[in-house]
Structures are given as C-alpha cells and as structure tokens.
Homo-oligomer: A and B are copies of this chain.
Amino acid sequence: MPQGCVFIDGEYVTPEDARMSIFDMGFVWSDTVYDVTSTWGGWFFMLDEHLERFARSCAGFRLENPHGPDEMRRILAECVARSGLENCYVKLQLTRGVLKDHIRDPRLGEPAFVAYAIPYAWIWGEEKCRNGAALHLSGVERVSSRAIDARYKNYNRADFVQARFEAYDQGCDDAILVGADGALTEGPGYNIFVVKDGRVATPDSNVLEGITRRAVAELCDEEGIPYACRRVEPEELGAADELFASTTAGGVMPVVRLGDRPIGNGHAGLLTGRIQSRYWRKREEGWHGTRVEDILEAA
C-alpha cells in the first residue's frame, strides 16, 4: 500500500484505512467517475481544468457531487499537505453509493466523494516514461463512446486491462486500442500522438479529452509545430517518424517500439524530446500551477 493521505467519509485517513462498502454501486456497476491531477514541487498542474472535467464527468454519469470546486480544492490541498509529499498523484472520485433498494434504482444512491494524494506515479515506471516504451496494437476493441462515453473519465476499464495483458504477452510495455469504427483511440490512461513530417496528430473521438493532451497542444503551438486533433488510422502508427503519449502520470512519454518494430531509430524522437523537455521545464516553473500552500492559506 502506498504512503499518502485519503479523504473518505469526511475524514482524512491512511491508504490502509481507506475502505468502502462492497455494496457501493460505484463498484458493483462501475458507476464511478474520477479524475487524476498531480503536484510537482508543491504545485498543482492545471487544477481548474481537472476540476472542470470532473464536473463534466459527474454530470455525464448523472452523479451529484456533494462538494463544490472550492471545497474540493481545499480537500485536495489538505490531502497533499498531510501526505508530506511534494510530488503527488492526486485522485478524486465519486461513486453512486449504496442504494436504498440495494439492486435497482440508481436515483436512490447517495454519491460518495473520495480524494487522495499518494507518491507521484509513473504509468510505465520513470525510466520508460522519460526514455521510451514499447506499445502493442491491441486486438481488444476499445469500448465505444456510444455505450460508455470516454469523455467522462470512469472506471469501466476491463478492455484496457485485457489489452495490457495482451501487450505483456507480446513483450511490450502497454497497449493502444482501436475503436469499433476502425480508428485509433487511446491506451490505458493516456492519449497517443503520431509525428509525421514534422506534424503532430492525435485521435479526436472515442478518447478521453486529456488535460496533458491539452498541454501538448499548447506546447506545440509555442514550438511552432503543426498540431491536429483528427481521425487517426492504426496504420499511421507504423508509418510514423515518432510516436509519443501523454498522461498526468508520466507527462510527455516517448514510444520507441510498436510490437517488434522500432519507431524511427528506436530512440525517443527529436520533436518528442523538444515537447517533453519544455513540458517538464515549464512544470518546474509552476506553469498552469496552483501552489498547495496558497490554497490552504486562503481557506
């Protein structure tokens, strides 16, 4: 169990003590939305953007959040402060709660909000997030947004888990999935970017609208790199000069192999490196940042 601090049932507890009812329909129906932000050097990154997306996820799942944005800001800052950590993985989630009639009517749930701060996590481990990972183009189809809308960040992720098993079987670090319409979508927790002839493209539908993806668009703009959010074909992966991925839990992450074929020269691409360096340099400087201390002092 990681170190850190969890806000649950109105109290701050250790991760070991953070337990929920097995009858919470957030578990039984995967009727839960969430978001993940981070702190780096004591600064939250794009906190309001995460809170706004969380609000959209709640509305999309028809879950009523008992906490307003200011209250959530204070709870998250309190979790970080109590964790004693500078670099945190910070999660907030809202579950349907236990239903009064136990099995039937989701309108009878009392949604339960949970938040926590634990040590900053690197989705592929720090070394591979910085220097590059191998992805497997999965045969598992991504759940369609017509069934469960990927824009609402949620816990229905069994497709991702099976795709990841498949990736490990193939000697890769993680998976990338294709949707029912044949277009490229995303991986388990990250957006994907194709670099070809100096241009960056990322899938526009059936994906989470990543906050780090938004940061990448901004960085491309600053670097004068053409950026497009459009339909991306799976074939573009193999034909790319460079590939990279983005997520809160790893930032801008090079992809250096697809299946058993190296991408480019098998090392992180130059354009990817420019975006990645700028991303971390700006984060160190407090880019789009909110100081944890400032939230606590204002409270």
Contacts and interface: CB of A to CB of B under 8 A. Distances in A.
A102 interface: yes
A180 B181 CA distance: 10
A158 interface: yes
Interface string A72-116: 000000000000000001000000101000111111000000101
A31 B157 contact: yes
A177 to B, nearest CB: 8
A18 interface: yes
A115 to B, nearest CB: 11
Contacts of A32: 27
A185 to B, nearest CB: 10
A188 to B, nearest CB: 8
A30 B158 contact: yes
A158 B168 contact: no
A144 interface: yes
Interface in A141-200: 141-144, 146-148, 154-162, 164-165, 168, 180
Given A118-B102, A164-B106, A27 B27 contact: yes
In this complex, the interface size class of chain A, counting residues with CB under 8 Å from chain B, is 35 or more
A160 B116 CA distance: 28
A23 B106 CA distance: 23
Contacts of A143: 143-144, 147-148, 156
A168 B108 CA distance: 12
A18 B161 CA distance: 26
Interface stretch (A1-9, A42-50, A209-217, A237-245): A1-9
Interface in A36-85: 61-62
A1 B62 contact: no
Contact of A23 (B18, B141, B180): B18
12 contacts: A1-B23, A19-B21, A22-B116, A30-B157, A61-B162, A62-B165, A106-B164, A107-B168, A143-B143, A143-B144, A143-B147, A154-B158
